[in-house]
Amino acid sequence: MTTGSSELKWYKSSYSTNDGPECVEVAATPHTIHIRDSKNTHGPRLAFTPDRWTAFVTFAVTSSPS
């Protein structure tokens, strides 16, 4: 990764709580969307192009139970 974590502005998911298991943070750059576990900020991360991130979010929204 060319962008260090100190350069990224991380946002915690609105679905994440301090006592819950779903703790996801996202940081966006013009060419990459970065995802990490907020409980393990130095651990592994995922990175997507904006197009792939949009496809993932669209799939997640349309696939989630109502």
Q: Are 48 and 57 in contact (CB under 8 A)?
A: no
Q: What residues contact residue 66 under an 8 Å CB cut-off, 6+ apart? A: none
> Which tens digit of pLDDT belongs to each residue from 2-28?
445 558 999 987 777 767 666 889 999
Query: Any idea where the domains of the chain sit in the sequence?
Result: 5-63
pLDDT tens digit string along 23-52? 889 999 999 999 999 888 899 999 999 999
pLDDT at 39: 85
pLDDT for the residue numbered 20: 65
pTM, two decimal places:
0.72
